[in-house]
Structure 1
Amino acid sequence: MSARTRSFHVTAAVLGLWLVVLSAVGAGDTGGQGSRGSVSVLATWTGDEGAAFRELLKSFTDESGIRVDYQGTTALREVLSSEVKAGTPPDIAVLPSPGELATYAHALVPLEKVLPPATLAAYGPLWKPAPRGDGAVYGIAVKADLKSIVWYDKSRHHRRELPALAARDGQWCAGMGGDATSGWPGTDWIEDILLQQQGKAVYGAWATGRLKWTDRRIGQAWRTWGALFGKGAARTALLTDFRDAGRKLFAARPPCALEHQGSFIRGGYPPKDRARASFAFSTGLIPGADRGSTAREVSADFAAMFHQTRQSRRLLAYLASAGAQTAWAQSTPRGRTRPFFANSEVPVEVQRDDGVARPIAEALGDSGSLCLDASDAMPIRMRLAFQRAALAYLSDVGKGPDALLTSLEKVRTDLRREPGRTWLSTVCG
């Protein structure tokens, strides 16, 4: 073989190798032909929720050609904090609280530069927080839940029986366990009691750090909560995971009859019992509540952008759109509960003929009556201290909350003095 022939074969082999490499790189970037780049997303959704969200992202990829690298984790706070410190945050993160949105606001892209005006207009102010006080929106609620509700087994109890059940010892199914966030079901209880007893103005002042924890009205809410639990029920709640508490409603011989928990919990009830679950607003079941109140506590998952690219802009606009959210609900497998949304253009009809889900969807649309979960809106250190205090209070209800409230007030005072520490300016519609 001549030198020229050998040279030709070597060159052809090299070119062939490069073609293989380039083909592999292209497949890795796109997941298929016609890729238009990629975008990374971090959120808390795993299990069935994660699977449903991945299906939505697949629909986006099929439509746009943009690949989505999704990471779902129950340790979002730790993962995101680590990635932000390393300078490698995801393009988009879906944060489970406006307080965390405020924590990262300095690193986020204002969404007025990203989302179409018509999309932003479909959300009330409550659902698009401006945590830096400059009016700029840094997150938008792509999923929502109603919290001021109480669940019961409608095959055993009629709604008119609930006030008497609520006042009876031992009738509350409760679980404080929640992995690294244990105690948050207790903070939900206290927040809702305060909202129903004192109204939106007092609740809002407290949630935004303008009202002392030692205020008598805050103490009244804690004592009301403690009075609903005897020592035995309090101990059981401390030893029970929140995901297991409501399952007791449907036992052959249920030890309790009511669960104070957000709308998402229905999806965690045993599938065979889910159709028996119904709810009532908590207003009529909380001692000392204003019976005429229409105030409701809510929570949401807020999509935020760390990196503005053509791909991330397109995905965020998709996630916030009524069309994508309608498809998200409609693609939920039969037998599972559909998600709820804050977008006013998502029709209530996406909940089909579900007589439980539709009233919840309607309540979420009444933004003037709604207040964001108070602890979700607080700085992370305040929120964690609140969760720990709720656990400590249940461990010795007879001792009263005064010492705990004094400690929490010190945390609030310290945080208010810290330069650059961001509290939301409002939490109610």
Structure 2
Amino acid sequence: MSAATRPARPRNVTAAVLGLWLVLLCALGSGDAGAQPSGGTIRVLASWTGPEATAFRRVLDAFTDAHHIRVEYQGTTALREVLLSEVRSGTPPDIAVLPSSGELTAYAAQGYLTELDEVVPAEYPPLWTPRQPENGPVYGIAVKADLKSIVWYDGTRHTRGDLPALAADSRQWCVGMGDGATSGWPGTDWIEDILLRLQGKEVYEQWASGDLAWDDPRVEEAWRTWGELLSGPAARTALRTDFRAAGKKLFAQRPSCALEHQGSFIRGGYAPHSRQARFGFSADVLRLPGSPPGAYEVSGDFAALFKNTGHTGQALELMRYLAAAKGQQAWAEETPRGSARPFSANSKVPVTVQTDGVARSIAQTLKSSSLCLDASDAMPPRMRLAFQRAALTFLSYSAADKEKRLGTLLGSLEKVHQSTERSTFPDQPWPSTVCG
């Protein structure tokens, strides 16, 4: 129907509609405007589910109340796959919390991330705010930290003095290699920690940064040492055990093992026996020859801000809030009773935010100036995946095959190393530094 033939709208109908709009606007205006988030909605993707997600959502709700910016949180145990799919489809989240600095630098190198120098608190040590390239911009901030150079045990059954003798018996290790597509990473943690213990920070950093060959004798010694610590039935059991289930054997009525080499985050999985869990530093437990003192392996969850999502300003506000000591402390305090509180990389968060001596000891160690990031976490994704698969392969060998085939296995890893040089895969860079 043309405009010329369309019947004229009665004036009284138009007036009635306008009147209705005025009534609605008055009704909205008379409410509590401060309670209505008005700064848009931003989306956050992370790996936390269950009680961890509950605590994190409470922190996000507090941010919304203070800044009137809605936050939609998605927690998934398949974070790498979900994020890659969304990035490829052109619909990334505003903020993603990445479980490794290597993934952070890879996304930064491909131009997906926003620079974050303006929101980094002064109290953050450089280790927890990786730059790409060296002396370049900050692209991620560690909003959660964990200590890895530790061995867990049941404090009601054993003392720290018992641990070295237990560690010498491979049957006493509770180990699980399973974790879906990333199976094998608990083995890489072992090898990294042993290398750090045997060779010290300088060699560890050369290797983690891609400047030391995988078939170097010092790297080979770390693999061989791991093979001696974990062999026979314990190795075979590890290959068919999920990492989440391994440590629960520590607290069984008749435990089949007594020690677990695992990061501080695992304490949350020991419930309802978390209070029984104690730890010793791996340097003291393993007592490796020539072990240099003072360096600890750590890991972090790094928050990154993706470009072109339409909410950069609001997302920067949330990044600033999550990195600040106040937000970090609130996160710990909002954790449900009985669940493990997160550890912070922000040096201003007091150790006393943790509620028991074990957690406070971990928090204090994380304030040390002698820390090194998990090496495989910092490596290019292709190298990290090859390392994880090689750890599984090595563990499957018999004792005799470990000795005969280790050189070939490390030679294969060195080929992957050479193929991931900066000139070949510039979008998957090696880190410039991993130790602080």
The alignment's TM-score, normalised by the length of structure 1, stands at 0.91
SS in 2 for 1:107: coil
| Secondary structure, counterpart of 2:343 in structure 1 | coil
Taking the TM superposition and a 5 Å limit, the aligned residue runs for 1:302-341 are: 302-307=302-307, 309-341=312-344
Question: What's 1:425 paired with?
Answer: 432
Alignment partners' CA distance in 2, 1:289 and 1:154? 26
Instruction: Report deviation, 1:140.
Output: 0.8
Contact 1:44/1:72 (<8 A) preserved: yes
The 1:287–1:67 alpha-carbon spacing in structure 2 relative to 1, beyond 3 Å, is same
Q: CA deviation at 1:194?
A: 0.5
Deviation track 1:22-68 (CA, whole Å, cap 9, x = no partner) reads x99xxxxx996252212111111112111111111011111111000
Residue 402 of structure 1 pairs with residue 407 of structure 2: yes
Name which of structure 1's ranges 32-41 and 276-285 shifts more when overlaid on structure 2. 32-41
Does the 8 Å contact 2:208/2:434 carry over to 1? yes
The residue that corresponds to 2:215 in the other structure is 214
Q: The residue matched to 2:241 in structure 1 has which SS?
A: coil
* Residues 1:229 and 2:234 are matched in the alignment: no
Query: Where do 5+ consecutive residues of structure 1 fail to align?
Result: 25-29
Name the CA shift for 1:263/1:8 in 2 (closer, same or farther; >3 Å): same
Is this contact kept in 1: 2:177–2:243, CA < 8 A?
Answer: yes
Seen in structure 2, the aligned counterparts of structure 1 residues 158 and 65 have a Cα distance that, compared at 3 Å, is same
The alignment yields a C-alpha RMSD, in angstroms, of 2.4
Contact 1:151 1:260 survives alignment (8 Å): yes
Structure 1 position 274 matched with structure 2 position 274: yes
The one-letter amino acid of 2:70's match is: R
Quick one: percent identity of the two aligned structures? 59
The match for 2:361 is 359
Deviation string, structure 1 residues 139-197 (Cα, Å, up to 9, x no partner): 11110000000000111101111111111230100000112211100000010000001
| Corresponding residue of 2:3 | none
Equivalent position of 2:54 in the other structure: 51
Q: For residue 7 of structure 1, report the CA deviation from its aligned partner.
A: 5.1
Tell me if the contact between 1:193 and 1:289 (Cα under 8 Å) persists in the aligned partners.
Answer: no
Q: Does structure 1 conserve the Cα–Cα contact (< 8 Å) formed by 2:37 and 2:70?
A: no
8 Å contact 2:200–2:291 — kept in the other structure?
no
Q: How is 1:122-133 mapped onto 2 (pairs within 5 angstroms)?
A: 122-133=123-134
Q: Which residue of 1 aligns with 2:94?
A: 91
User: In the superposition, relative to structure 1, how do residues 125 and 5 fare at CA in structure 2: closer, same or farther (>3 Å)?
Assistant: closer
- Give 1:276 deviation, angstroms: 0.8
Q: Which residue does 2:4 correspond to in 1?
A: none
Residues 287 and 218 (structure 1), Cα distance of their counterparts in 2 relative to 1, 3 Å cut:
farther
Aligned equivalents of 1:380, 1:287: Cα separation in 2? 32
Q: Which residue of 2 aligns with 1:37?
A: 40
Q: CA deviation at 1:226?
A: 0.9
Moved more, 6-15 or 148-157: 6-15
Distance 1:317 1:172, change over 3 A: same
After superposition, what is the alpha-carbon deviation per residue over 1:106-151, rounded to whole angstroms, capped at 9, x for unaligned? 2211111x316xx1x2111110100223421111111000000000
- 8 Å contact from structure 2 (residues 198, 291) kept in 1: no
Which deviations, in whole Å up to 9, do the C-alpha atoms of 1:243-280 show, x marking residues without a partner?
A: 00000001111111000000000000031x11110000
Q: Find the counterpart in structure 2 of residue 104 from structure 1.
A: 107
Structure 2 distance, partners of 1:383, 1:339, is 25
Maintained 8 Å contact 1:195/1:203: yes
Q: Which residue of 2 aligns with 1:247?
A: 248
